[in-house]
Structure 1
Amino acid sequence: MVDLQELPAFLDAGQTLAGLDLGTRTIGLSVSDRGLSLATPRQVIMRKKFTQDAEALLAAFKRDNVGGIVIGLPVNMDGSEGPRAQSTRAFIRNLERLTELPVAFWDERMSTVAAERALLEMDVSRRKRAERIDSAAAAFILQGALDRLRASGVASPDR
Structure 2
Amino acid sequence: MPILAIDYGEKRVGLAISDPEDRIALKYKTILLEDAKQLLEELKKVCQEEEVKRVVIGLPISLSGQDSKQTKAVREFAEYVRIKLNLDVQLEDERLTSVEAERTQAKDIDEESARLILQTYLDRRKKFRR
**TM above 0.5:** yes
- Segments of structure 1 that go 5 or more residues without pairing to the other structure are 1-14, 155-159
With structure 1 as the length reference, what TM-score do the two structures score?
0.79
Instruction: Report % sequence identity.
Output: 29
Q: 3-state SS of the aligned residue for 2:85?
A: coil
Q: Does 1:144 align with 2:105?
A: no
Q: Which of the residues 111, 117, 127 maps onto 1:135?
A: 111
With structure 2 as the length reference, what TM-score do the two structures score?
0.96
Q: Which of the residues 68, 91, 100 maps onto 1:82?
A: 68
Q: Is the 8 A contact 2:60 2:71 kept in 1?
A: yes
- Segments of structure 2 that go 5 or more residues without pairing to the other structure are none
Match for residue 26 of structure 1?
12
Moved over 4 A (4+): none
Structure 1 residue 97 displacement after superposition: 2.3
Amino acid at match of 2:78: I
Q: Does 1:93 align with 2:69?
A: no
Number of positions where the alignment pairs a residue of Structure 1 with one of Structure 2: 130
C-alpha RMSD over aligned residues: 1.1
Partners of 2:63 and 2:74 in 1: how far apart?
Answer: 17
Q: 3-state SS of the aligned residue for 2:104?
A: helix
89-98 or 31-40, which deviates more: 89-98
Amino acid at match of 1:148: R
Partners of 1:148 and 1:111 in 2: how far apart?
Answer: 15
Structure 1 residue 34 displacement after superposition: 1.2
Within 5 A, what are the aligned runs for 1:1-40?
15-40=1-26
Partners of 2:98 and 2:60 in 1: how far apart?
Answer: 11
Partners of 1:141 and 1:77 in 2: how far apart?
Answer: 16
Amino acid at match of 1:29: L
Partners of 2:42 and 2:14 in 1: how far apart?
Answer: 12
Partners of 2:83 and 2:93 in 1: how far apart?
Answer: 23
Q: Which of the residues 22, 40, 52 maps onto 1:54?
A: 40
Partners of 2:23 and 2:83 in 1: how far apart?
Answer: 29
Amino acid at match of 1:144: T
Partners of 1:97 and 1:51 in 2: how far apart?
Answer: 14
Q: 3-state SS of the aligned residue for 2:64?
A: coil
Q: 3-state SS of the aligned residue for 1:105?
A: strand
